Each structure stands twice: as C-alpha cells, then as structure tokens.
Amino acid sequence: MPEISSSKPYRIGRSKTGLGLFATKKIKKGDKIIRYFGPMLDSKNKKHDDIDNKYLFEINNRWTIDGSVRKNIARYINHACRPNAESDVNSRKRKVVIRAIKTIEPGEEIKYDYGTDYFKIFLKPIGCKCDHCEKKRAKKRAEARAEKLRLKLKAEKKAAKKAEKQAVKDARKKKTVVKASSVKAAASKAAKRNTLSGVKANAHARGTGKPTRTKAARTKPLGRVQPKSPARAKRAL
C-alpha cells in the first residue's frame, strides 16, 4: 500500500467494497482533493488499445489514463451514485483532478460518480454497493416484506371469514334439520291421534260398540194395564 503524507487530507482505509479513501481533515466544497494520474494511453496505438483494466480513465476519444499504477492513490476512491466529490477533467492538459462538491467531514469516505459506461460494464452486473443503492435495495426489501405480510393477513382474514360463513351455514342447516325432524314427529303424532279417533267414531257408527241408552229406552211405554190373573191375585193376597 502506497505511503501518504500526513499533510494530505485523506488516508486509505477499509470500505464496504474493499479499500477506500477517507478524509482525515475537513474538506470544504470546491477544494482539490487529489489528482488521478498514470501512463497516458493512445487509442491509435495498437498496444495501448489492447490494455484493459478497471482503472482506465478516458479523457477524450484518443487519450486515456491508466490509473492502475500503485502510486495513483486516487484509484482507491470508490463509486457512488450520490457522491461527495467529482472528477474535474482538463482535456487540453490531459489532467484529471478530484474535487469536493460538498463539505466532507473527517472520517467520511470520499466518493465520486464513475460515469454511465463504467457503471453499465462493471457495476450493474454485480449491483452497485454505494449507500444510496443499498438504501434503495433495503427499502425494496422492506416493501416486499410488508407486501408479503399484507397478503398473508389478507389470506388469513379471507379464510377466517369463509370459516365463519361455513359455520353459520352449518348451524342453519342443523337448525333446519332439527326443525324438520320436530315437525315430522309432530305430524306423525297428530296422524296417529287422528287415526285412533277415526277408529272409535267408525266403531260407534257401525253399532259394534255398546250404544248409550236413550231416555226413550229408559221410560216404559204407557198402555193398558193388564189385569192380574186370579192365581197371581190370590198369591198376592
């Protein structure tokens, strides 16, 4: 790891994505932090055009800085979609300087946006690890969990409502069966009673039973008094 002068406002430290560059002093907005440097590669040179690594910094269509050399401490600065620094490119002088775009406090990691092309080639396939993207992913995960819980509660509520409906339906069915059974029993009892009363009425009508004696039957008919025979009269005396 390259040595850094104590007068410099940064240090190399451990970051979420490996190594990173951290402020050791307060860096004000607009201040120059560090220069990004390395061998200049000419796109017209076949040998230079074949060089490929993740530290290449394109200045224009022809010139590119190969920042893979160890002395280029600026290569430790990580990407951020919401950075606190930016790259200031001077195409004429073929020079790149990293400047603060907001006040950076001591201990805060220095970050700048690598650009759309770098993001698509190197970061998008694996997922950006910057704080902004991590927060977005955490928010999406939280929303997904909340949605999953909402759907689960909805399903449970629906199942409970369905079970309640079924219970009411079963209760009504049971009540109907009991009522029908009671009605059937009452009807059977009434039918039996009607049958018995019908039998008695028919028996009396046919004279098979013992008829009730009428008043006329109990009263002796009035007629001529028969005279007693002499023998009966003598016996009576």
pLDDT tens digits along 106-119 = 999 999 999 888 88
Residue 21 corresponds to which tokens in the numbers above? 């560059």
Q: Are residues 148 and 134 in the same domain?
A: yes
Residue 53 domain-assigned? yes
Q: Are residues 84 and 146 in the same domain?
A: no
Q: Are residues 163 and 179 in the same domain?
A: yes
Residue 105 domain-assigned? yes
- Sequence-ordered strand ranges (E) for 6-160: 10-15, 18-23, 32-36, 40-42, 56-58, 63-66, 78-79, 85-90, 95-100, 109-112
Residues of the chain with pLDDT under 70: 177-180, 183, 194-237
Contact (CB, 8 A) for 127 and 39: no
Give, in order, the Cα–Cα distances in Å from 114 to each of 31, 111, 154, 232.
19, 9, 45, 161
- Nearest CA to 23 out of 97, 96, 85, 67 is that of 85
Q: What is the pLDDT at residue 198?
A: 61
Strand 109-112 to strand 63-66: parallel, antiparallel, or no bridges (unpaired)? unpaired
Q: What is the pLDDT at residue 144?
A: 92
- Compute the radius of gyration of the chain from its Cα atoms: 57
Contact (CB, 8 A) for 67 and 116: no
Residue 200 domain-assigned? no
Residue 155 is part of which domain span?
130-194
Q: What is the pLDDT at residue 232?
A: 55
Residue 199 domain-assigned? no
Number of separate domains in the chain: 2
For the entire predicted model, the pTM comes to: 0.62
Task: Give me the CATH number covering residue 36.
Answer: 2.170.270.10
DSSP 83: -
Q: Are residues 116 and 189 in the same domain?
A: no
Residue 44 domain-assigned? yes
Q: What is the pLDDT at residue 237?
A: 46
- Nearest CA to 9 out of 26, 18, 1 is that of 26
Could you tell me which residues are beta bridge partners of residue 41?
64
The per-residue b/e assignment along 75-95, b for 16 or more CB within 10 angstroms, e otherwise, is: bbbbbbeebbbebebeeeeee
Neighbours of 20 (CB within 10 A): 18
